[in-house]
Structure 1
Amino acid sequence: MPARYGDLITNGSFRDAFTGWWSGDSAYVSVATPGTGLEATATTDAANLSDALVGQDNLPLRSGCHYTLTFTARASQPGTRLRAAVGLGVEPWTTTLDKTLTLGTADTCFTFAFTSGQDLPGGQLSFQFGQSTTVTVSLTEVRLTCSTAAEGFYTDLASNAAQWLAAHPDDPRAKKIEKSIVRRPGARWFTATSTDLAAYITAAAAAGHLPIITLYNIVGRDNGGQSTGGAPTAEAYRAWIDAAAAAIADRPAIVILEPDSLAQLGDLADEAARAERTALAAYAAQALGALPETVVYLDGGNATWIRPTEMAARLKAAGVQHARGFAVNVANFDAIDVCCTYARQITAELTRLGVTGKGFVVDTARNGNGAMDAAGQHVDWCNPAGRRLGVPSSIGVAGADYLLWIKYPGDSDGSCGIGQDIPAGTFSPYLAERLTDGI
């Protein structure tokens, strides 16, 4: 059974109403989602805790792996009992976590760590609160996450930074770069010249880790900019995507799909080129999104580039409904709060367009100092000075699915900024050290 690192819960903040959840017999429990979480009300006929319940199914748990359940809850009356259980969703209802707690009328965050005693590809989480009296339990921020290093992201042992370290072990910058960058998991980028995707996915699966990969080969890539290139024709691109899907197959992976491709649509020569790129993105989203263990994020630009209304329209046209969601701030420097605000604006616009339940990820590789310089001006996108490493790849915050190192630190944006004469994608210890020191 493959590892699945991250939040196993769908719609844990109930922003997408009751999607992904179920409730018990309507004679015993009713649910409402006012936009600030879930309000579940038990009737007086619910004499036992298990009479009134809400939950979520199809949670993949692995025997011997460690998990953490967190949630925020309150009740309409003090002294309300709530049972939180994780386990088998059918008879004999074996539980691997079973906690009964007492709620007050103020929001309280609860955290429970446990080790799964069995493989449960279809595990269940339930909250039970029958009291023989009418009571409303409010829930939000429900998360069930893998918490061991063995369930973490895959670290690319052949990243550009790792290759530099292997070739320069005695460089005075080596230990700093090893500790700050080389040991950190981030995305490996695959282009038309990459032939080792299947081997990379296989290595990650063998380690029980979740690989982060970026597919970067759209026709007219970077619109002739620093990272120009890409597939020569639409037919070649579709064949390349088919090959990538076959290489990933049924193994777990996070896929960041074609950074800048949708954000740069307006810079293409004509409507025919824009239509072709949108169609190719949609083809990739559908092909990769259909894989059983792959989560796909399309290009969502960044907060100071494309307005949320326009980006949402582009994402819908590019098939985001077939993907998990979209990625923001790839290869950029905006702070996490700025990125998450922008992304939530996009998800709100997508909902208005009829596309609900989409998530997002944020590239945090180089946003530790945000995107403003000392004078309060927004920095240029290409190797700007004064940037710093951001939060390493991890579970997300503020609505994000994940915070990820997508643009690997130290890899140049191109011959520009403080990286003159360093081609795009080339690792530079000079750039890497400046990022570790924030200068």
Structure 2
Amino acid sequence: MRLLSTKAARAVALAAVLAAAPLSLTPPATASTTTASTTTAASAVAAAQLIANGTFTGSTAPWATIGQTALSAESDRMRAEVTAVVANPWDAMVAAPTTAALIPGRSYTLSFDAYSTVAFTARTTVQYAATPSGNQSLAADVPLTTASRRHSIPFTAAAASDTAAEVTFQLGGSGARPVVRFDNVSLMETQATRPSDLYVSPLSNPARWAAQHSGTTTGQAIMSGIGSKPIFEWFGGWFGDLTLAVDAYVGAAQAQDRLPMLVAYNIPNRDACAGHSGGGAGDAAGYHAWITEFARAIGNRHAVVVLEPDGVAAAGCVTQIGKDPEDQYRMLLDATQVLRAQAPNAWVYLDAGNATWIPAAQMAPLLVKSGVAGTRGFSVNVSNYLTTADSETYAAAVKGLLQGSVGAKTYVIDTSRNGNGPYTDDTPGDNWCNPPGRKLGTPPQRQTTGAEYLFWVKVPGDSDGPCGIAGSTPAGEFSPDLAMALINGNP
């Protein structure tokens, strides 16, 4: 086994964070046939990184000190020591010029990891070098603790005649002499035009497994059939640093001018009907805090978000544990409002279950009270097996019913495992859980009619739970056997 450098080891750790297995879903199923149309995507253009040496590999250049600060490189991080107790934040600073001038009116995101030997509130700015204190595009407080955390801050470049800019970290005013360490500093502009290509993450469960087994026919088949496709990344309470996970994923997509696709899956009493994917935030306040951090980590960047698969459809099941479904609808309404305010360029699709679960006439008013008015639309068939044709019929009915109350809404369909339609036998209650003989559906693509997108929201090969052909494989864990069964459509 080859040993990794410190920086590489941290990258591997981040890969493990991003690929942490999402929990999967438990709705019922039935139906038959697939249809889709294709569109041609434009080639990607990488977004420019406006910070030189944000990973501090071997040195801190071009960062410089201002005031009572000493600077050094330490284990591929920037170590900034406040050398005297000073009154003001700007009395102890580090700063670096951007690699290009800012464009007034354009949106940007500054991201970085930081921790301190003393907990205090630092300040970061992005300012014009010619008028540093009088014209700051960004001036934000940054709460630092002794644990490293990711910070992701969107802003709009201010108007100026001279737009050569610099990034600063202002570390004075704490009443102490902290040592602060920084890493992975990034400044990138939000694309002026929404990306048309979907992001393919090398850290998805099937892509990672296939890369680790690239010398085998199974690994090659899984990479070709699944790992090389754009698949949603699922986010929930299993991330210790949610901002790090979301920012790293969205930033990687942005760097390729691709569209990141995220599932928000952390509502309290999650998967109340079946339980394999149980969990979620502890209460409404905890969920509000979680969805706020999730949305802020996306910031002003372009993204697609599927909001809480089964959250609306399964709300009725919370009565089994003495909870009120109305509370769940209110939490979803709040989540749509938070996403609209904090992630304005994200296209949010509130989940609407599947075609055999809640009738369209009942689902439409539930979506309304859950905040669909503040979203782009809704999703159907997430983690299910119903055909695209049946899902289209159901979604069109829901869309028509929504038209009169909240106006025109669009919808997306999960086709990740619906190539052979649903499984049927004499025990329909468990036919959603890793049934045999299922197959990959139409690959992800944008459409010009019907569903706005056909997506692979569920990660093909990730288990629904210890059931069906998965044996004892837990929910959310990748199984190459499940992946190959979907590739081959095994009976």
Q: Which of 252, 257, 261 is 1:212 aligned to?
A: 261
1:397 and 1:267 mapped to 2: Cα distance? Answer: 36
Pairwise CA distance, 1:325:
0.7
Pairwise CA distance, 1:289:
2.6
Query: What do you get for the CA RMSD once the two structures are aligned?
Result: 2.4
| Residue of structure 2 in register with 1:424 after alignment | 475
Deviations 1:211-238 (A, max 9, x none): 1110100001111611111001211110
| Residue of structure 2 in register with 1:160 after alignment | 205
Deviations 1:371-400 (A, max 9, x none): 15599x898111011111011110136421
Pairwise CA distance, 1:332:
0.2
- Answer yes or no: is 1:241 the counterpart of 2:241: no
Q: Which of 347, 355, 363 is 1:303 aligned to?
A: 355
Larger relative CO (CA 8 A, sep 6+): 1 or 2?
2
| Residue of structure 2 in register with 1:339 after alignment | 391
Q: Which of 425, 433, 436 is 2:484 aligned to?
A: 433
Deviations 1:234-290 (A, max 9, x none): 111100111111101110000000001111111112785212111111111111133
Q: 1:171 to 1:288 in 2, by over 3 A?
A: same
2:361 and 2:429 mapped to 1: Cα distance? Answer: 22
| Residue of structure 1 in register with 2:119 after alignment | none
Kept in 2, the 8 Å contact 1:369–1:438? The answer is yes
| Residue of structure 1 in register with 2:238 after alignment | 193
Pairwise CA distance, 1:170:
3.0
Pairwise CA distance, 1:363:
0.2
Return the letter of the residue paired with 1:156. Answer: S
Kept in 1, the 8 Å contact 2:423–2:438? The answer is no
Q: 1:414 to 1:347 in 2, by over 3 A?
A: same
Return 5+ residue gaps in structure 1 as ranges. Answer: 1-61, 66-149
Kept in 2, the 8 Å contact 1:372–1:379? The answer is no
* Percentage of pairs with the same residue: 42
Return the letter of the residue paired with 1:357. Answer: A
What number of residue pairs does the alignment pair up?
Answer: 294
SS at match of 2:324: helix
TM-score by length of 1: 0.64
| Residue of structure 1 in register with 2:69 after alignment | none
| Structure 1 segments (4+ residues) deviating >4 Å | 62-65, 372-375
2:413 and 2:254 mapped to 1: Cα distance? Answer: 24
Kept in 2, the 8 Å contact 1:221–1:228? The answer is yes
Pairwise CA distance, 1:313:
1.0
Alignment of 1:259-270 (within 5 A): 259-269=309-319
Return the letter of the residue paired with 2:344. Answer: P
Alignment of 1:18-97 (within 5 A): none
TM-score by length of 2: 0.57
Pairwise CA distance, 1:420:
1.4
Return 5+ residue gaps in structure 2 as ranges. Answer: 1-41, 46-194
- Answer yes or no: is 1:230 the counterpart of 2:280: yes
1:244 and 1:278 mapped to 2: Cα distance? Answer: 19
Pairwise CA distance, 1:416:
0.7
SS at match of 1:326: strand
Q: 1:64 to 1:219 in 2, by over 3 A?
A: closer
Q: Which of 377, 380, 400 is 1:325 aligned to?
A: 377
| Residue of structure 2 in register with 1:370 after alignment | 421
Q: Which of 175, 187, 190 is 2:220 aligned to?
A: 175
Deviations 1:162-198 (A, max 9, x none): 2212332333311110100000001000011223101
Kept in 1, the 8 Å contact 2:425–2:431? The answer is no
Q: 1:64 to 1:424 in 2, by over 3 A?
A: closer
2:369 and 2:377 mapped to 1: Cα distance? Answer: 13
Q: 1:269 to 1:395 in 2, by over 3 A?
A: same
- Answer yes or no: is 1:282 the counterpart of 2:333: yes
